[in-house]
Amino acid sequence: MARRPRTLWAGLALAFAASACQQPASAEAVVAAPEAAVKAAEAPGARTAIFAGGCFWGMEAVFSHVKGVSSVVSGYTGGNRAQADYETVSGGATGHAESIRVTYDPSVVRYDQLLQVFFGVASDPTELNRQGPDTGTQYRNALVPLDNEQRRVAAGYVAQLKVLNPWKRPIVTRIEPYKGFFAAEAYHQDFALKNPDHGYIKRWDAPKVAALQRTFPQFWKAAFTRN
């Protein structure tokens, strides 16, 4: 798709989204992911985590309702800054993945507990280079640890899940090196909050939020964390 002038792109942004985060679907089967055997030992103060697992609208919506989370930003990871725009990334050839950057307080919710939410309701770790109707490497399932402690906990949890495997299908989640995070366009931020009647949100992402409340009530908060 040829790049359009910025002013026109702003006006047609939601229309272009039809090529990716817009296709009708049913929400993934929810799995009550187990508590992590390897607990995160994190220093006090705000911490940051990055997750990739399909369309960022749904991931943002889920983590925006998690206690201890103070910010969720939709964006792109895995590629370079020059190509980190929605139209280019949606072509599937840039190496990016749609992702979210979560800022959280580990005294309220630890990194291993965020992993529990990620695997349990935010994404399906058995889908290779896709999530539901959205296909391509930009929708891959990946953890992007930002320090040695996150790498330790992520590796431990993925290994634990591969043994228990409540999905009964191969787990394809990757642990990827951090190559930068680039915030997505403004219209993607807080998308579920601003567009609750959008067809994709109603059929795909609202069920994930409801599943968070039902499956992990200990992590649930009613208020949506605005970007």
User: Tens-digit pLDDT profile for the chain (227 aa)?
Assistant: 222 333 333 444 444 444 456 544 444 568 899 999 999 999 999 999 999 999 999 999 999 999 999 999 999 999 999 999 999 999 999 999 999 999 999 999 999 999 999 999 999 999 999 998 899 999 999 999 999 999 999 999 999 999 999 999 999 999 999 999 999 999 999 999 999 999 999 999 999 999 999 999 999 999 999 98
Domains and CATH numbers, the chain: 46-215 (3.30.1060.10)
Strands (E), 34-90: 47-53, 69-77
Catalytic (active-site) positions: 55
pTM of the model: 0.90
Q: What is the pLDDT of residues 11-37, one digit of tens each?
A: 444 444 444 565 444 445 688 999 999
Strands 174-175 and 181-183: unpaired
